[in-house]
Structure 1
Amino acid sequence: MQNLRVTISRNGMRATLEGRVDGPLDAETAEKIVRGRLQNAGITSGIIDKVVCDAALQIAGGEPVAPVVVARGEEAQPEIAEGVYLQVPSYAQADFPYGFGGFGSSTLSYYELLEYVAEPHIVQPGETVGSYEEGLNAHSGTTVKGEVITASSLRKPSPRVKELGDGLSRERQGSGITAAAAGIVIRAPESCYLLKVSLDGSFHLAVSQDKMRISADIWPAGPEGAQVEPDRLLDRLRDMQVTGKIHEPDIREAINRVRAHGLPVKGVCVASGIPCRNGRDGYIENLVNLDFSLRPAIREDGRADYHSVHVFENVREGQKLARLHPPTSGTDGTDVFGQKVSAADGVPVTLEAGEGVAVLPDDDSVYVSTREGHVHRRGPALCVDQVLRIDSDVDYHTGDIDFTGDIVVSGDIRSGFCVQAGGSICVRGVIEDAVVKSQENIVVFGGFVGQGKGRMEARLDVVLAYVRNQTVIARRNIMISGESIDANLCAGSRILMESKKTGIIGGRAVARDLIAVNNLGGASEQSTSVCAGIDFVANVHLARTRREIADLESTAQALAAELNRIRRTRTGTAAQREARVRRRAAIESQCDEGFKRIEMLKREQAELRKRQHTLDAQVRVLGTVFPNVMIEIASYTHVIHAPARQCFFFVKAGEIRRQSLTADS
């Protein structure tokens, strides 16, 4: 009776034989039986003849055959590339800042390393970090049934890197790779090297660009490392030949903090020079009033007195106008290495004698008027000019007017015309649907009336009698002696309408600090809106900064894409590679400048947002506020439903409140 079993492994690479055969047999017959069993099982390859013979002898002797491997397939050999195979954790060079520390040639402190790797794997000197494989070619294999296994059907391992860099070396015997010092293994695109790490406490000294200050970054020791000693840092300063003031108490205090808390301390000033003292710049002392205040006085009867408005400064012939003070000399200092730091002398200020102005013969620092007229600054010159006077209307007889100085119009400014001045504008008549722009102030003795096509803009103040259906914008104050009907008023500081005839009916009025008016709204309950506590100038600047930041960020994205393309490009001639290096440096420089500009704009935005709203703003009503008036202060809103007299509105406890002016006084 035959009870022999042949078992083939799941992967077909091994066959085992076990069992027994009853009856007396000779060795030759037993071997034929065994080989017949193998043939019946389909085994044609890798038969181990010696094992078959031994099994036949056991059967011939009447002994059972324990499980034994009688055939083995030939394993397929995948291709193994030549190169370095690391056995310890490694870190990609791209995870560190570009050009950081020069890598292989420098030593990093343990706490510097923690800024980039949370839990670094530190290899020790002489530790095996990997192996170098010479490489093997691929060949196919066969199963015990003769089935071919091709190497291409298997995954080929690939080496992490091809070359060894600083700090790593091959053993003289064998393929092992060892570390020359303590550190971490850095993996570059086609090489690896050791970035040395010091477990002892360390410090780094940085000399400021002007050499007036040396600051220290001090790091604590890593595991089982020695802490920094104050004398070690002081010796380093002496080796640097520092002759300035060494701040030894600050050094010792900083090192004690590092030891106590186990955290780095950065930016400690350890030495400083003696700063130079620059001279005072020259300056101009005005001997006449060049600060033109356009707010009119209010008479006892409540009307505005525009005769008191200081629009121009009239001077007489021979009158002293200004004195020019010369600059002073500076005092030199020394840097931390004892080198002289030259102080800058004060910069002289320039004041030219323009038309109608001369210097005194016996004192060339004093400027005097040579004629009567209006004194003002125009660029670097002090001038006494006859103001540009238009003794008629601005109409088709005059055309548009664009004058660098002050303008006085005796008549009206008709619809469709434009008047622009580098100085102030004074109109004794009325302004229709015209455009009037001034780099200083606008004073209109009449009104500003039209069909809503007129626009008035002043960099400083606007003073006028009344306005209807038009837009008035002033960077500082708007002062109106009469009514504002269906107008759009926008002031950077205040809207003042304090005479008894004043009132805002319809339209919208916006000011940052104060809106003071006699009557607000009308008996017909026309919808009227006043808004205080909003700085429209800040809003304009915010919009500009948003646009500029968006443009800079778009440019930065395009540059980053180009930089990535350059980094991926490896081929090309030497000239092309050099050109890529130059372009890469230019892009990185441009990106740095762009990011600095964005940061500056964001800081500017933060300051502008602080100015956008002010909760200290008020709306004052000297007469009556009528229903259907919407009052806004900053981001708060209040609608008037019933008339009220002599009151003011303000923000308190997150809402707009009303209080009597009598109680306020």
Structure 2
Amino acid sequence: MAEQAIPLSFFMEIALSDDKLNAFLQFKTNDDKLTFSLEQLEELLKTYYIVHGIDRGKLAEIVKNPKAVFASKTLIATGTPPINGQDGSILLQFDYNDGSKKPVELEDGKVDYKEVTTIHNVRKGQLLAQRIAATPGTPGKAVTGEPLPAKDGKEARFKLGKNVVADAEQTAMYSAIDGMISLTERDRINVFPIFEVNGDVDYNIGNIDFVGSVVIRGNVLTGFKIKAAGDIRITGSVESADLDAEGSIEISAGILGHNKGVIRAGKRVRSSFIQDATVVAEEVLVTQSIMHSAVRASKDVICKGTKGLIVGGIVQAGELVSARTIGNSMSTVTVIEVGVLPELRNELLQLRTQLRSVNDNVDKTDKALILLDQLAAAGQLGPDKVAMRIKLNHTKKQISEEQAAIKDRIFEIEKSLEDSERAKVEVSSTIYSGTKIVIGRYTKFIKDPISHVKFRLAEGDIALVPL
């Protein structure tokens, strides 16, 4: 058919991708005698409003040999995709890597723990951060010629803490005082003056409650309390004392809690060991051992070093628990929980206890109301019993509302327990029997020693993966 009386649309059709960035030609019938011109094919494109990104070389190939593409969808036009802008960012002008400084090893092989603590000092007027502006998006163009909108990048905003200022253009952040940088929760930048003790925290010093950061060049003895709005750095050890920092806590020589003191940090706790203590933080880093302690981290608990041992007690983390060894050959009961914020898991336990108590109260109230209803039916309900009946109905309504609220909250937490894909437990050496692994709402008891293993959720159960 040298000249087509029948329009080309009878033999072929053009389809657009959902984003209108691609146009495809596909034959509806395979007619070996079919011939047509480039102009006819271009006219067909116009009927589909294809005007941008046309591959004219491909069109010429189709005209020359249509049989070659009878059985396939052929890309004949490609639009220009939109390019989203880049989000703005905050570029810190200081190094806040707590792990960058290690104990100084002397010539005789000993370690000088006086140089373990890292203090991030800044001067008044020092540049702390710069704001990198977001970039606008670049619109694209569909094969039909219509513009395709792009998203502009989101502007970053400074999180101004204490003793920091921004310039008028909000492009740079500076320290307003001489002091110590501290990143508190939500990465807010602060500059705090430092309270420093050259010795032990004992009866000569007393408890410390300070609006900045605290440095103790000694030990914290039993029964004392330190509270800081910034960080706490201790070059010695901590006995059964209470430490509370909005920033991070670093203890060079370890924590010996005697099941009394609590160590609590808004960011990170770093220590050589933790024994018989309670530690709560966003992240817990230990180089030697965690023994018979209650450790709760909203993100990670890392226990790695020459020993890297976790044994006894309970360790809870929102995302990761990583250690060289978990448990011991004596099958000491050791509980490792990951996959939900520890405070949510503890709240769930409290709510279930509370719900049992509320259910008991509902049962008692219902039984009392049934008895009063029976008396009313028999015409034996005196004025005092009428008042009691009204009061019990009001009480039942209140208890029922409380019961419903508790059930709703339990449901919310249990749903979060199901979303534990990122949660895992890593053991680079050995995990022993006596250990209980909990990921989200799933539990696994270790019955025999296992080496070099990672535990994670897979297909609705806890899976073991070689590490």
Give TM-score, length-normalised by structure 1: 0.39
1:444 to 251, 255, 260: 251
Note if 1:478 corresponds to 2:290.
no
Give how far 1:610 is off.
Answer: 2.5
Tell which structure's C-alpha radius of gyration is larger. 1
Q: Is the 8 A contact 1:513 1:533 kept in 2?
A: yes
Say which SS state the counterpart of residue 611 (structure 1) adopts.
helix
One-letter amino acid of the structure 1 residue matched with residue 128 of structure 2:
L
Change over 3 Å in CA distance of 1:307–1:657 after alignment to 2: farther
Q: 1:528 is matched with which residue?
A: 334
CA distance in 2, matches of 1:618, 1:425: 29
Distance in structure 2 (CA, Å) of the matches to 1:308 and 1:609: 46
Could you tell me how far apart the structure 2 residues matched to 1:649 and 1:460 are? 26
Change (3 A) 1:323 1:536: same
Does residue 498 in structure 1 map to residue 286 in structure 2? Answer: no
Q: Structure 1: how far apart are the matches of 2:287 and 2:211? A: 28
Counterpart residue number, 2:213: 406
Aligned counterpart for 1:610 among listed residues 398, 402, 415: 415
The answer to whether the Cα contact below 8 Å between 1:529 and 1:630 also exists between their aligned partners in 2 is: yes
Paired with 1:409 and 1:653, the residues of 2 have a C-alpha distance of 49
Which of the numbers 434, 452, 459 marks the counterpart of 2:266?
A: 459
- In structure 2, the residue matched to 1:430 is 237
The letter of the residue matching 2:424 is: Q
The separation in 2 between residues aligned to 1:450 and 1:397, in whole angstroms, is: 21
Deviations 1:76-97 (A, max 9, x none): xxxxxxxxxxxxxxxxxxxxxx
**CA 1:398–1:620: 2 relative to 1, 3 Å:** same
Counting only pairs closer than 5 Å after superposition, residues 14-413 of structure 1 correspond to structure 2 as 288=92, 294=98, 313-316=120-123, 318-321=125-128, 366-369=172-175, 372-376=178-182, 384-413=191-220
Q: Which residue of 1 aligns with 2:461?
A: 655
C-alpha displacement of 1:406: 1.6
Of the three residues 275, 298, 309, the one matched with 1:468 is 275
Alignment of 1:630 onto 2:436? yes
Point out which structure has higher relative CO (alpha carbons under 8 A, 6+ apart): 2
Question: Compared with structure 1, are the counterparts of its residues 320 and 392 closer, same or farther at alpha carbon in structure 2 (3 Å cutoff)?
Answer: same
Q: Is the 8 A contact 1:525 1:626 kept in 2?
A: yes
**CA apart distance, 1:523:** 3.0
Question: Using a 3 Å threshold, how does the CA distance of structure 1 residues 654 and 422 change in structure 2: closer, same or farther?
Answer: same
Aligned to 2:44: none
Q: Percent identity?
A: 24
Mapped to 2, the partners of 1:423 and 1:445 lie a distance apart of 18
Cα contact 1:512–1:614 (8 A) shared by 2: no
Residues 473-531 of structure 1: CA deviation (Å, up to 9, x unaligned): 22x21111111111121222211113232111222212222111001112333232222
Q: Provide, for residues 258-312 of structure 1, a one-character-per-residue CA deviation record: whole Å limited to 9, x for no partner.
A: xxxxxxxxxxxxxxxxxxxxxxxxxx9855358956566999xxxxxx9999976
Say if 2:333 is the partner of 1:537: no
Q: Structure 1 residues 524, 602: CA separation in 2 closer, same or farther (over 3 Å shift)?
A: closer
Equivalent residues of 1:294, 1:310 under 8 A apart: no
Which string of whole-angstrom CA distances, capped at 9 and with x for unpartnered residues, describes residues 594-636 of structure 1? x9x9999987665443324544222110011223222222333
Supply the RMSD in Å over aligned alpha carbons: 4.7
1:479, 1:491 → 2: CA distance? 10
1:402 is aligned with what amino acid?
A: D
Whether the aligned pair in 1 keeps the contact of 2:93 and 2:129 (CA below 8 Å) is no
* Distance in 2 separating the partners of 1:523 and 1:394: 38
Unmatched 5+ residue regions in structure 2? 1-87, 104-112, 133-156, 366-396
* From 485, 491, 507, the counterpart of 2:313: 507
Q: 2:457 & 2:115 partners in 1: Cα distance? A: 34
1:375 is displaced (CA, Å) by 3.4
Q: Is the 8 A contact 2:326 2:427 kept in 1?
A: yes
Work out whether residues 538 and 611 of structure 1, in 8 Å CA contact, stay in contact via their aligned partners in 2: no
Matched to 1:488, the amino acid is A
Residue-by-residue CA offset, 1:94-139 (whole Å, 9 max, x unaligned): xxxxxxxxxxxxxxxxxxxxxxxxxxxxxxxxxxxxxxxxxxxxxx
Q: Structure 1 residues 533 and 393, CA, compared in 2 at 3 Å: closer, same or farther?
A: same
Q: Which runs of 5+ in 1 are unaligned?
A: 1-283, 300-305, 326-348, 558-590
Assess if the C-alpha contact under 8 Å between 1:318 and 1:369 holds in 2.
yes
Task: Label 1:290 to 1:600 Cα distance change in 2 as closer, same or farther (>3 A).
Answer: farther
CA distance in 2, matches of 1:605, 1:423: 35
| Residues 364 and 641 of structure 1: CA distance in aligned 2, closer, same or farther (over 3 Å) | closer
Code of the residue aligned with 1:647 in structure 2: it is V
Aligned mates of 1:378, 1:529 — CA distance in 2:
29
2:135 is aligned to: none
Distance 1:354 1:456, change over 3 A: closer
Question: Which secondary structure state, in structure 2, belongs to the residue aligned with residue 507 of structure 1?
Answer: strand
1:336-383 CA distance string (max 9 Å, x none) = xxxxxxxxxxxxx9998965x6777x989755346653235899x976
Distance 2:310 2:242 in 1: 22
What is the letter of the counterpart of residue 253 of structure 2? G
Q: From the superposition, tell whether residues 393 and 656 of structure 1 become closer, same or farther in structure 2 (CA, over 3 Å).
A: same
SS at match of 2:252: strand
Corresponding residue SS for 2:92: coil
CA change 1:604–1:642 in 2 (3 A) is closer
SS of 1:492's equivalent in the other structure is: strand
Aligned-partner residue type, residue 392 of structure 1:
G
Flag the 1:545–1:366 CA change in 2: closer, same or farther, 3 A: farther
Match of 1:627, SS state, is: coil
Kindly state the Cα deviation for residue 321 of structure 1 after the two structures are TM-superposed: 3.1
Q: Residues 501 and 351 of structure 1: is their aligned pair in 2 closer, same or farther, counting only changes over 3 Å?
A: closer
CA displacement, residues 571-615 of structure 1 (integer Å, 9 cap, x when unaligned): xxxxxxxxxxxxxxxxxxxx9xxx9x9999987665443324544
Give the 3 Å change call, closer, same or farther, for CA 473–369 of structure 1 in structure 2: closer
> 2:416 is matched by which residue type in structure 1?
R
CA distance in 2, matches of 1:439, 1:406: 9
SS of 1:519's partner is strand
Question: Secondary structure of 1:638's match?
Answer: strand
Query: Are the equivalent residues in 1 in contact too, given 2:94–2:128 (CA < 8 A)?
Result: no
* C-alpha contact (below 8 Å) 2:114/2:217 kept by paired residues: no
